Amino acid sequence: GELYIGGAGLARGYLNQPGLTAERFVPNPFSEVEGERLYRTGDLARWKASNNLEFLGRTDSQVKIRGYRVELSEIESLLMKHPGVAHAAVVIWENDDEKCLLAYVVSGQQGTFNQAEIQRHLRSHLPSYMVPDAFVQMDRLPLTTNGKIDQKALPTPQEHFSRQKAAVPRSSEEEILCGLYAELLKRTNVGADEDFFALGGHSLLATRLISRLHNIFGVELSLRVLFETATVAGLAARVREARGAPTHRLPPLERAERRSDLPLSYAQQRLWFLHQLQPESAAYNIHFGVRFTGWLDKKTLRQSFNAMVRRHEILRTTFPVRDGRPVQNIASESQLDCEELDLQRIVKSEIDLVVRKAAYEEANRPFDLQHGPLLRLKLLKLDDRQHVLLLTLHHIISDGWSTSILIREFARLYEAYGKGEDPGLPELPVQYADFAIWQRQWLQEEVLERQLAFWRKHLAGAPPLELPIDFPDNTMAGGSGARENFHFGNELTQQLRFLSRHEGATLFMTLLAGFQLMLARYTGQDEIVIGTDIANRTRLETEGLIGFFVNQLVLRGDLSGNPSFREILRRVRTVVLQAHEHQDLPFERLVQELAPERNLEGTPLFRVKLVLQNMGLSDLALPEISVSEMDLQEMTAKFDILVNIVEAEDGLHAFVHYRSSLFKPSTVQSLLHFYHATLVVIAQNGQILDVTKQELLGAIARKARELRDQFFTPLGLLASRQRQGRLIVKA
């Protein structure tokens, strides 16, 4: 039957809605206390033999999806007001553990079903979260004996499309693209009319798709093209156009002759230069720690890492100086040592402190770029079944994507060698040195000038970001760093993904728009210039290589004219797509061209950075060993503020690294708290996307106060200690 709720914790009613309060809060017939009430939830439930309640569904058509209350009947009514729809039914559909809205429609008088037109009709009357994610066209809707829609008889989308069959590819280009979509998006079957982003694509996958198009069809398409024509059929047409039109073709990325004076890539050259200025600095050390629980085979561990050193030339590369300039020197052989430290005699209460001290020392020990090695291993033995591996690399030979490759290949090698088997890793067609040579060969003259012209125009007259610095006298005090963490939660993350999808943006674009809005509030500026990272692996051959590929982009935001958030997001999308189209220009070459004022303590052109890590590290799973990653906080800061957002199964996590010589923790906490409130406001109220910037900032300020007040209650503080960490407890 219907579930009712009562007791001391029951709410008083709906605020300023006496009619709804009277309808939902009814007298309790089981109580002798006068005035005691029950709340009608509208949920169907049943008692089980275990004395637990089992939820069965709703008694009405109101449902909750992504944190929103939605009336399905309201959507159905608006659907049937469109002349192209005669009958409609809207239901909740669970797809891969994610709830979404699914609409079943029967065509109206127009006779043809135009999904895009109907979605535009709905968006003009409904918030974006009430617009169905998918549509199923039917000849008629199944009915029960009393004339109501038989929801149990409605086909699932999989059943419907298996009957109707996905649109069959009509050309060789469409057939190939269907396979590429299925591969990248991990789908078993993709039709010619399927949309890349509707199937779950994002900007990183889009970049990989573009690189495959180049590899297969020999065409140069921009990300903008994919955003404009994301269906298989539409993209196939653009591919055919590009193949028939004259365009600049990049030379193939091939294995080059191994000389003794191989050049550095542009990115490597800049890090080498910074290292000469501060040879004792560990600012560009990449480090992480892994805890192993179980019987660890040390011999197999060393064998696995040395196999990777043999496989990836960059791991046995050093950077000597010849004729006054640095070169890459690749050793023919290199044996990696793994230093061991036995901590079994340490008192258990002190072991964690000793491990963290060792990790700190390793992370802050500088490398010798000229003699190497530039990869270090240190194994800490806690007892026979507990070990901690500390791994440190210099950034000049690795990046975040490379770390994922290293972890994935180590797991495969360790498992294979442990069984005495061949790991079966495919041979690498090229190495990082080949990429460095290729990059310098093609990025010249006309191509270089075209890239530079865009960035000159994009950054002309760009104002520096004036952050609220707490210690203005310490701007040259050094790169000492601190960190604040925040978890945005899975519900908010899903809402942000949903908002991005319905606004034709990526999750990063939405996060960036909110970030710009937050910075505008604290700086009073309408132009917001920040940096971000891009993988810069635009060629299929580079996807499996370890090396320093990542490039930095400078993004100039425009919030002038009191725009709505929807307009801000549109401007952000334009800027990000243009930057992606001109991502081939190395940041180092841009700095050389623009020649901004330099100092050792800051990155030129921008001092604040926002990065979204949506590729994620590969899970390190070893046979009969439990593996967990240690959280090792960096003690140096390369930027005034770096916001690194990581996608995880439980939602988005923000790690904010900042210069402790410039900012108090409370200042950074305040920025992060307002950013969180910004994302909550835009994600939970579709109508607010169209209000002006000033009105929106007011709504965000109110939400920020509301969220902050929640954490001063005893329960709020307890929850914050458990879920949010240091940030909210301090706030």
pLDDT reading at 279 higher than 70: yes
> Which of 36-45, 157-166, 584-593, 671-680 has the highest mean predicted lDDT (pLDDT)?
671-680
pLDDT score, position 251:
83
pLDDT reading at 634 higher than 80: no
pLDDT score, position 725:
39
Closest C-alpha to 273, from 692, 678, 588: 588
> Beta strands of 295-336 (E only): which ranges?
317-318, 321-322, 325-326, 329-330
Q: How far apart are the C-alpha atoms of 490 and 651, rounded to whole Å?
A: 4
Closest C-alpha to 608, from 572, 557, 648, 677: 557
Q: How far apart are the C-alpha atoms of 579 and 509, rounded to whole Å?
A: 12
User: Which helix (DSSP H) or strand (DSSP E) does residue 486 occupy?
Assistant: strand 481-489
The stretches of 364-444 forming alpha helices (DSSP H) are 400-418, 432-442
Q: What is the pLDDT of residues 305-363, one digit of tens each?
A: 999 999 999 999 999 999 999 999 999 888 899 999 999 999 888 999 999 999 999 99
The tokens for 524 are: 């009073």
The stretches of 201-231 forming alpha helices (DSSP H) are 203-217, 223-228
Q: What is the pLDDT of residues 51-61, one digit of tens each?
A: 898 877 666 66
Non-local (6+) Cβ contacts of 690 within 8 A are 564, 565, 566
pLDDT score, position 477:
55
Determine contact, residues 397/375, Cβ cutoff 8 Å: yes
Q: How far apart are the C-alpha atoms of 269 and 371, rounded to whole Å?
A: 17
The predicted model gives 269-280 an average pLDDT of 91
pLDDT score, position 254:
92
pLDDT score, position 114:
72
Q: What is the pLDDT of residues 65-121, one digit of tens each?
A: 766 777 787 888 889 888 888 889 988 876 545 567 888 888 876 556 677 678 778
Closest C-alpha to 319, from 268, 285, 376: 268
Non-local (6+) Cβ contacts of 45 within 8 A are 1, 2, 3, 53, 54, 55, 56
Q: What letter would DSSP give residue 193? A: T
Determine contact, residues 88/113, Cβ cutoff 8 Å: no
Tell me the CA distances in angstroms from 348 to 351, 383, 625, 698, one per residue in order.
5, 11, 21, 52
pLDDT reading at 249 higher than 70: no
Sheet holding 338-342, edge to edge: 338-342, 375-383, 386-394, 285-294, 625-630
pLDDT score, position 710:
63
Determine contact, residues 46/17, Cβ cutoff 8 Å: no
Q: How far apart are the C-alpha atoms of 495 and 486, rounded to whole Å?
A: 17
What's the length of the chain?
731
pLDDT reading at 601 higher than 70: no
Q: How far apart are the C-alpha atoms of 681 and 689, rounded to whole Å?
A: 9
Beta strands at 321-322 and 325-326: parallel, antiparallel or unpaired: antiparallel
Q: How far apart are the C-alpha atoms of 184 and 201, rounded to whole Å?
A: 8
Beta strands at 317-318 and 321-322: parallel, antiparallel or unpaired: unpaired
- Tell me which residue has tokens 């088997």: 421
Q: How far apart are the C-alpha atoms of 456 and 593, rounded to whole Å?
A: 9
The predicted model gives 259-266 an average pLDDT of 88
Candidate from 174-183, 325-334, 420-429, 696-705 with smallest mean pLDDT: 174-183
- Give the N- to C-terminal CA distance of the chain in Å, as an integer: 45
Q: How far apart are the C-alpha atoms of 91 and 102, rounded to whole Å?
A: 5
pLDDT score, position 712:
47
Residue 694, judged by CB atoms within 10 A of its CB (0-12, 13-18, 19+), counts as exposed
Q: How far apart are the C-alpha atoms of 201 and 190, rounded to whole Å?
A: 13
pTM (predicted TM-score): 0.71
Closest C-alpha to 553, from 534, 577, 529: 534
Q: At CB < 8 A and 24+ separation, what contacts does 416-422 make?
A: 417/300, 417/303, 417/304, 417/307, 418/297, 418/300, 418/623
Q: What is the pLDDT of residues 361-378, one digit of tens each?
A: 999 999 999 998 999 999
Q: What is the pLDDT of residues 164-192, one digit of tens each?
A: 445 667 766 787 888 888 888 877 678 88
